[in-house]
Amino acid sequence: MEETASYGYDFPPHVTRIDQLDEALTIVKAMWSNERSPSFEGEYYRIKDAICNPKPIQKPHPIIMVGGSGEKYLLKVAAKHADRYNLFFGSPDDMKRKISVLKEYCKSLESSRDVGHHKDIQYSVVLPCIIRDSEEEVYRIIKQYKRNDKTVDQYIKDLVSGIAIGVPERIVKGINEYLELGVTHFIFQFIGLDEQTLKLFHSKVIRKV
């Protein structure tokens, strides 16, 4: 909210922002996909014979990823518009529930999406990651980055209960839990990142999953 205030932007309640997202995605998809210049009249946004040329080369349009965790409103927008749903710092149990709710919303959309379209939605997750060759090195990184008012265990719990924290074998096991749910894309937020970390992740994680 400090950022929006500094630039003079409104920061309405989250339900309003989600409604704005719904309208914005409706406009974007129409401008990307319609042969004729589209028009749209909504509560927040409106366009009239808007020109968008050249069109994207992806058909019917570039992948639209909608991220968030709100089940009552956000997931409805994801069901309506998303090609890929993204969950930020969510555990496998969290992801399993979101997928279940999302599928139910997709099934209920009779006109906007075909029945069964939920099978085509991709799933992705953002995960914090600390990877080292030994638990001692992992512990050292945690001690270095945790806040002073938190214990190591509290810090790990905040990082999705440490599902991607540890030696490579542990991280591969954690990734497999998501793969079993149908997650196909992973975005890792590395803590203590350096070149050696990336080499370790490539050789002992990426090559194993």
Residues in CB range of 139: below 8 A, 6 or more apart: 152
Whether residue 107 sits in one domain with residue 17: no
191 and 151 share one domain: yes
Which one-letter amino acid corresponds to residue 58? Answer: Q
The share of the chain scoring above pLDDT 70, in percent, equals 95
Q: Is 80 found in the same domain as 21?
A: no
Tell me which residue has tokens 């749903």: 85
Asked if residue 165 and residue 85 are part of one domain, the reply reads yes
Element (H, E) at 86: strand 84-88
* Phi, psi torsion values for 108, nearest 5 degrees: -80, -10
Sorted by sequence, the CB contacts under 8 Å of residue 201 that are 6+ apart come out as 129, 131, 168, 171, 188, 190
pLDDT of residue 70: 96
**Closest C-alpha to 27, from 55, 6, 50:** 50
Q: Are residues 1 and 98 in the same domain?
A: no
DSSP class of residue 103 equals: H
Domains contained in the chain, number:
2
155 φ, ψ to 5°? Answer: -65, -45
Q: Are residues 169 and 194 in the same domain?
A: yes
25 with 123, same domain: the answer is: no
pLDDT band, very low/low/confident/very high, at 35 (cuts 50, 70, 90): confident
Residues 130, 107 share a domain = yes
pLDDT at 2: 85
Does residue 7 carry a pLDDT above 80?
A: yes
Tens-digit pLDDT profile for residues 108-158: 886 555 544 556 899 999 999 999 999 999 999 999 999 999 999 999 999
Domain that holds residue 19: 1-62
Cross-strand partners of 185:
124
Task: Please state the length of the chain.
Answer: 209
Q: Are residues 50 and 79 in the same domain?
A: no
- For residues 108 and 26, membership in a common domain is answered with no
- Residues 97, 56 share a domain: no
Q: Are residues 68 and 32 in the same domain?
A: no
pLDDT, tens digit, 9 for 90 and up, residues 43-89:
999 999 999 999 999 999 999 999 999 999 999 999 999 999 999 99
CATH number at residue 145: 3.20.20.30
Establish how many alpha carbons lie within 13 A of residue 111's alpha carbon, considering only the half-sphere containing its beta carbon: 0
Of all helices (H) and strands (E), which one includes residue 126?
strand 122-131
